[in-house]
Chains A and B, each alone.
Chain A
């Protein structure tokens, strides 16, 4: 282990934090900052999906529904009922969590594909609800004029200020996910992912932990939705179509299932990437589809695996030339 490795290992977290804290000052213009903020919101969403799908193995293809529930809840509470924004954002998470029970309770017995399809149906039903319940959601018109967040007399209207709000919540969920993985609850969830029958046999209360996983992940999905609503300040059903669920899923897999840095890079990367490819015109979405397939084929552990490898090389755990044969753990079925 060289000196460089030691310095890297001791400072990496602080460098990362410093970059994150100063980011709004060196991003060239407001537009890029907006895209980046959006990417971070999707990183939060991807991390919460990771708790449900990556850790517990409950594969959700309709996850955008909870993002939508959060966004609509916060939008409706603030514009129609005059709730203060921070309270509305919190309630958005709570309501998203509560509504997740309508999905998790009936689907408790379902596994694998069947569960995935139930979530897809749920996502589609929620979308139709946003679209057709005009009395509350304004239908296709969407809800305009959502107020910006105001806290302790400061308005977080500009992206450079709102960025920090997103950053705080992102760091919160990173810490939560990290602690969760090494806790008893987290290990129980992992065992359900690996094999639910075996987990049950060793005394894990499978329904209970599935429910906990649902509640936590949808709470943060709801918060992410509320962040989105107060950043864009306009919500319409089109932001919550099922194709968006597939996009979030892609973020998780491209980042590497179960990997925290992967989820962040996947969330930000796949939001920012299409924007940077705008000069390519329509062909960018073709490349986007192709790159998802390529990453799945050639990088089984996603970008998270790549980051881990670079991190290991820089901190001297692994030499550059010889690649250690890594056992890779992934859910079967």
Chain B
């Protein structure tokens, strides 16, 4: 029983990171109407950014995080400027392919710079497990969960209560109407993109002690992120957190049945959810007109 609870805690910790990645997909999907296939690679960029600032440059952990976040924001802005903005009025198919191209570009650029070898990253929060009753919990797991939830909370407050956040939501809802209301649509779309990139990158930074830092880090994490996004309903921010945690728990507990099944769980769940709940757990039904 304890073992099972421990697995669930592990699942929640991984799941909140999936949720963070998923929110990036949701933000960009709502503002730009496209699934950003390069979002997984932003996770990888985040992991490499913290590797560079903390290990290579030797900055203490807090400034290292700040600089890494700035790096992610710059990369995100660059991607938006070069590959998203020129295609703003194109069909979805073309924009989707552009994001695939961006992903290949980023992945291989990092490979050229850092090589294909995996880099280990030390644990940020220490390795001494915390004992609560019969349970032993690794601090990393607690912090991942806490930070994940805090970030989602902050994002929700930002989107609901600040002027900038409101204009971002208005832009996502109806670009033309927002423009007519005097909102700087370009700015708020860029901002959305940057926030999405930073959230993805942040997930990468938190994940780097768990996985090795390699250029292909983002591929599987990206897929899991958007499985979570769809699981929660691609139009909903809290939904993607719930989707992420559901996926994390399913993955962690599926090892009880077979280890080889673990990798496919995300996709099998995704497939089933899409069939029975095409709008996800919390997504709203979209009605379409001719």
Q: Chain A: residues with CB nearer than 8 A to chain B?
A: 53, 59, 106-107, 109-110, 112-114, 116-118, 120-122, 124-125, 128, 131-132, 195, 197-198, 201, 242-243, 246, 249-250, 253, 257, 282-283, 285-286, 288-293, 296-297, 300, 330-333
Is the Cβ of A197 less than 8 Å from the Cβ of B290?
A: yes
B130 within 8 A of partner (CB): no
Q: Determine, out of B104-112, B118-126, B239-247, the stretch whose residues face the partner at the interface.
A: B104-112
Residue ID in chain B nearest A241 by CB atoms: B219
Distance in angstroms between the alpha carbons of A121 and B228 in the assembled complex? 12
Is the Cβ of B91 less than 8 Å from the Cβ of A114?
A: no
Residue ID in chain A nearest B269 by CB atoms: A121
Q: Given contacts A242-B223, A300-B94, is CB(A107)–CB(B100) below 8 Å?
A: no
Is the Cβ of A198 less than 8 Å from the Cβ of B87?
A: no
Residue ID in chain B nearest A128 by CB atoms: B264
Distance in angstroms between the alpha carbons of A118 and B108 in the assembled complex? 27
A141 to chain B, nearest CB (A): 15
A138 to chain B, nearest CB (A): 15
Is the Cβ of B98 less than 8 Å from the Cβ of A246?
A: no
Q: Given contacts A293-B102, A333-B92, is CB(A113)–CB(B271) below 8 Å?
A: no
Q: Given contacts A110-B274, A117-B230, A121-B270, is CB(A253)–CB(B105) below 8 Å?
A: no
Distance in angstroms between the alpha carbons of A175 and B98 in the assembled complex? 30
**Can you list 26 contacts pairing A with B, beta carbon distance less than 8 Å?**
A107-B274, A110-B274, A112-B92, A120-B267, A122-B271, A128-B260, A197-B290, A253-B93, A282-B112, A286-B105, A289-B101, A289-B103, A289-B104, A292-B101, A292-B104, A293-B98, A296-B90, A296-B95, A296-B98, A296-B101, A297-B83, A297-B86, A297-B98, A300-B94, A330-B91, A333-B92
Is the Cβ of A282 less than 8 Å from the Cβ of B92?
A: no
B141 within 8 A of partner (CB): no
B37 within 8 A of partner (CB): yes
Name the interface size band of chain B: 35 or more
Chain B residues with CB under 8 A of A288 = 104, 108
Is the Cβ of B104 less than 8 Å from the Cβ of A132?
A: no
Residue ID in chain A nearest B99 by CB atoms: A293
B161 within 8 A of partner (CB): no
B194 to chain A, nearest CB (A): 19
Is the Cβ of B278 less than 8 Å from the Cβ of A109?
A: yes
Chain B residues with CB under 8 A of A197 = 288-290
Distance in angstroms between the alpha carbons of A118 and B276 in the assembled complex? 12
Is the Cβ of A250 less than 8 Å from the Cβ of B101?
A: yes
Chain A residues with CB under 8 A of B14 = none
Q: Given contacts A116-B96, A250-B97, is CB(A300)–CB(B90) below 8 Å?
A: yes
Chain A residues with CB under 8 A of B9 = none
B55 within 8 A of partner (CB): no
